[in-house]
Amino acid sequence: MISFTLNDKPIKIDADPNMPLLWALRDLLDMTGTKYGCGIAQCGACTVHMDGSPIRSCVMPLATIAGKKITTIEGLPSDASHPIQQAWLDHNVPQCGYCQSGQIMSAVALLSTNPSPNDADIDNAMQGNICRCGTYPRIKAAIKDAASKNSANTTITPNPTISPNPTSSPNSTFDFSLAKNVGEQA
């Protein structure tokens, strides 16, 4: 039996301690907001927070999270009132949307530790999150906007309506700073 806190709710699951957290979230707890992208911690689609820090849940064994606090995208307000969520909407960030939960969780973690990041800080924090649609300039603009509008309100407030059913930092070589809008000069 593995016990941990998920979005501020105590959870106990009976699962293989080597099972990746991602599979426990999606298959055992029906928390499907966290996405599977690569399975080797290189794309960031599976990003969640463990004790406030971003981790790749696809490679994090359940044994590692025992006694820890895990926050998923479902832990953010469902009304999109978190500053990052609002900035994502304001800047039309998602295209296909697949990577967005991981992108948002990385951005929330950044602003919770650095409420006024510069471009290099953003590039460094987001380099492990890959977007096939190439929305990097919009992601960076959204993070800057959220930081400028509401840097004091970057803590995660779990969504009290999410009730998981307990019965049922790797490095990337992608250089976020090189991503440009189509037509933007290099």
Mean pLDDT across 53-82 = 95
Query: Is residue 75 predicted with pLDDT exceeding 50?
Result: yes
pLDDT value at position 80? 79
Given the structure tokens 């992601």, which residue do they identify? 139
Q: Phi and psi dihedrals of 130, rounded to 5?
A: -105, 135
Nearest residue to 88 via CA among 52, 135, 152, 157? 135
Burial class (CB in 10 A: 0-12, 13-18, 19+), 134: middle
Any residues with CB less than 8 A from the CB of 85 and at least 6 apart, and which? 76, 77, 104
pLDDT value at position 148? 93
Query: Is residue 180 predicted with pLDDT exceeding 70?
Result: no
Q: Give residue 151's pLDDT band: very low, low, confident or very high (50, 70, 90).
A: low
- Domains along the chain with CATH numbers: 2-75 (3.10.20.30), 83-150 (1.10.150.120)
Number of H helices, E strands in the chain: 6, 5
pLDDT tens digits for range 11-46? 999 999 999 999 999 999 999 999 999 999 999 999
Decide: 174 and 130 in contact? Cβ < 8 Å.
yes
Q: Give residue 178's pLDDT band: very low, low, confident or very high (50, 70, 90).
A: very low
Full-prediction pTM beyond 0.85? no
